[in-house]
A and B are shown apart, each in its own frame.
Chain A
Amino acid sequence: MNMAVQSFIEIGLLADIPRLGARCVRTPEGRIAVFRTADDEVYALEDRCPHRGGPLSQGIVHGSSVTCPLHNMVFSLKTGEAEGADEGQVRTYPVRIEGERLLLHVDALRALGA
């Protein structure tokens, strides 16, 4: 897919992600985790915990948060910020739902590459 032309790019269907679950998108800049909440909201975060690099896509999703599978830090899916007593920030990416299709914002991706 050529990302230079469009800034929102289709990555799959909403139904591809289980509720309270996540899937990954591979990019040249690393993995991005796309989460789906119980209310069908979708969020995209870098799939790397700032603590020790845990794959957040493998964590348990609850409310609009995810718990890292390695040492249980909790991050807000909305802001990427660590919750509770911990500190840390994960990069977030805009995603849009159009009908059934999921679109990921690519400028954000490129900014990461730059």
Chain B
Amino acid sequence: MTEKLVIIGNGMAPGRMLEHLFECAPDAYRVTIFNAEPRVNYDRILLSPVLSGEKSFEEIVIHGDGWYIDHDITLYKGHKIVEIDRAAKTVRSEHGEVASYDKLVIATGSAPFIIPVPGKDLAGVLTYRDLDDVEAMMLAAKSRGRAVVIGGGLLGLEAAAGLQAQGMDVTVIHLMPTLMERQLDPAAGYLLQRELESRGISVLTKASTRAIHGETRVQSVELEDGTVIPADLVVMAVGIRPNAQLAGEAGLEVNRGIVVDARMQTSDPDILALGECAEVGGATYGLVAPLYQMANVAARHLAGDIGPVFADQSTATRLKVTGVDLYSAGDFAEGEDREEIVLRDASAGVYKRLVLKENRIIGAVLYGEAADGPWFFDHIRNRTDISDMRETLIFGQAYQGGAPLDPTAAVAALPDDAEICGCNGVCKGKIVGAIGEKGLTSLDDVRAHTKASASCGTCSGLVEQLLSVTLGDAYNPQAVKPMCGCTDLGHGDVRRLIKAKELKSIPAVMQELEWKSSHGCAKCRPALNYYLVADWPQDYADDYQSRFINERVHANIQKDGTYSVVPRMWGGVTSATELRAIADVVDKFDIPTVKVTGGQRIDMLGVRKEDLPAVWADLGKAGFVSGHAYAKGLRTVKTCVGSEWCRFGTQDSTGLGIRIEKFMWGSWTPAKVKMAVSGCPRNCAEATCKDVGIICVDSGFEIHFAGAAGLDIKGTEVLGLVKTEDAALEHIVALVQMYREQGHYLERIYKWAKRVGIDEIREQILNDPERRKAWFDRFVFSQKFAQVDPWSERVSGKDKHEFNPLATLTLEAAE
């Protein structure tokens, strides 16, 4: 029987719990999640690389929207639960949504602690907990002003480094005498402070905040000793407090956190709690490793297996600031019964300290050279007796047993149960096993199958060493990623060889480039088909069986197997006659949904496949051609009304949009291409997030490219300013042709531009008129073969077989 499981909070702990739950009891629950944050589950640990600009938000998403669909989970994004009614077994969100549960899981995480000083509510005073905080910091950093970070712990220092990377002038204020005193001893704290100061971050220790000043926005921070530090942004990172209030109001037992037993059960048998909000055995936790252990226990509990219990474990920490190598694990306070081993190398900036008790390591602090961290941590957790290696212990694993080992050999020597990935609790044996059994060959493969190094990523090096130990020479980290399993060549090589060897058909490519499968696969065939279409427009006959269904039937397949149809509306302009024709088609074919798209077109959804040719025939009579809304090709040119109507318009943006669209429609490209033309810098057509965009200005046309507004969000790059409409068209066409000839299949313009370099593109398209003309001419040539309306072709009978069943059978007398 399927029970209703409701989860409050969608952070890393419940995310992991669900993964375990779907593994051990896939059909036991129908899951509903309420999350105050308006987004899917992401890797909070990696917010710092997002802040510093080293990663994008998309790269740190753990479960994309598809995952929730696949598991039939209802996820309420941006719904905070404000009440748990334990008698009725329901929860209620601030928007009034009510859901009933059989089992409830509370995973509300924790909230940043705000120090109660005057001015704490001023605009510009932030905390560091979620993506909204990161976005607010990045926005504030645009001013390149001054930031003050209150708190010199892990979060504060990561925030400080990130803000500095974004160009701000940063001061860290820390109450204690040394930085990160919870994880580092004073010596390591000192080295860390020196390193940060050498990078230009000011650090004030033993500094207590008295007030934050400002009119409406923050302007300065005042310390107890009277020092005033000017600030345009203040980030408070002084600690966290478990979010237990909601549970407390529902009458559950709460202390510092929500009190649970070792099986994650609260004082109500139908309610579990886990993550940072939970308190087990009197302790709350703020690092993912123990939370993931809770996730496993909770999942088993929900699946009916109450065997596993949570056990306190020591944790290890690294600071995720690029260039700072720091590791801390266990307990390193001094004490009567403790000894220590210290190694310092001042010139190299290395400091290592091990704390021993009864011949066992109980704590380790490594600064400047932290590769041995996991090895020490392993001994801490296994309570290894180190008497035999005491003399050389501090030099690390490489010095045990004679000659120094190279790092790979050191990894090879680790026992199978040595933990490699602390975040996800993955041991060496599991990784090596997966490499062998599943034939994994890359870091990405290992991440996908075992989750090792998929969170904070600091163990990536170890995983790579394991790959090379296990695979030997077969592992080549620098290798280009092959197009697919059918070849060892990457997209770039295949494109180059198609031209160099003048390969003009899919069989020719597969033969000459020694494909390993007889007819390719669903990954390489569409790519090859595109490359051949783009490179040999005159000679190559499109292979329809190598196209995805959408491009084969010129409509978009929907989740129920019906299709959506979008006719072209040049530049987004339409007329009464066109609208009437669309209305008639909708009535005649009983089309359930009609919707305006983001690209200023009309989308008819829910068309049966058999009806497609007739729908197109009727649309064709009204003058419509296919809108290619399904194509890896030119999609739409969005426009604003421009100088013809708009009092701000500087040029005829609508006219130019129509002209571009009429010139370029029908062309295939590596991935979809969306364009826009705005009539003035107010940019109503949103041209600055398109693949190609134009902003009209008084003096001409500013050409933009390489924007994105889908999974990734990215403003465009400016190619340059041209004076006339003709010049604008020539530049855009040349740019797109360059992309058509160089892009890898499914690689959007912004990714291609990143790969080949913005300057190179500008050089060829803007500064070199001959090259530009050559690109332009090749595009024009290929259009001769491409500008055929696929709809009218099919109305006149092409590929008729696509749209009708082969046979219709009835079962007479068979029942």
Contacts and interface: CB of A to CB of B under 8 A. Distances in A.
Whether A associates with B in a native complex is yes
Interface of A: 1-4, 9-12, 16-21, 23-29, 31, 34, 37-38, 52-55, 58-63, 65, 67, 69-72, 74, 85, 104, 106, 109-110, 113
Interface string B514-525: 000111111001
B811 A12 contact: no
B806 A16 contact: yes
A61 B805 CA distance: 18
Contact of B806 (A3, A17, A20, A70): A17
Given A3-B812, A70-B559, A63 B521 contact: yes
A11 B807 contact: yes
A11 B545 contact: no
B809 A9 contact: yes
B808 interface: yes
16 contacts: A1-B812, A3-B809, A11-B807, A18-B544, A23-B801, A24-B806, A26-B808, A29-B811, A34-B806, A38-B519, A58-B553, A62-B521, A63-B517, A85-B449, A109-B809, A110-B811
A70 B557 contact: yes
A37 B520 CA distance: 12
B722 to A, nearest CB: 42
A109 B559 contact: no
B519 A23 contact: no
B810 interface: yes
Contact of A53 (B548, B553, B561): B561
Contact of A16 (B520, B522, B548, B801): B801
A18 B801 contact: yes
Contact of A27 (B544, B560, B561, B809): B809
Given A20-B545, A63-B521, A26 B805 contact: yes
Contacts of B522: 59-60, 62, 67, 72, 74
Contact of A62 (B519, B547, B548, B557): B519
Given A23-B805, A25-B808, A58-B561, 16 more contacts: A1-B809, A4-B813, A11-B806, A23-B801, A26-B809, A28-B809, A37-B519, A53-B561, A60-B548, A61-B545, A65-B521, A69-B549, A69-B557, A70-B559, A85-B449, A113-B814
A113 B812 CA distance: 12
> Which interface residue of A10, A21, A37 has the most chain B CB atoms within 10 A?
A21
Contacts of A16: 801, 806
B666 interface: no
B546 interface: yes
B234 to A, nearest CB: 46
A103 B102 CA distance: 52
B521 A67 contact: yes
Interface of B: 66, 70, 438, 449, 517-522, 525-526, 544-549, 552-553, 557, 559-561, 801, 805-815
Closest 4 CB pairs of A and B: A67-B522, A23-B806, A20-B545, A58-B549
A1 B813 CA distance: 11
A28 B526 CA distance: 34
Nearest to B545: A20
A32 B82 CA distance: 50
A58 B561 CA distance: 9
Contacts of A60: 522, 525-526, 545-548
A53 to B, nearest CB: 7
Contacts of A85: 438, 449
A110 B517 CA distance: 37
Nearest to B524: A62
Given A3-B809, A11-B809, A26-B809, A38 B814 contact: no
A55 B517 contact: no
B809 A20 contact: no
B521 A52 contact: no
A34 B812 CA distance: 22
A100 B526 CA distance: 30
Nearest to A24: B805
Contacts of A23: 801, 805-806
B545 A12 contact: no
Contacts of A74: 522
B809 A25 contact: yes
Nearest to B806: A23
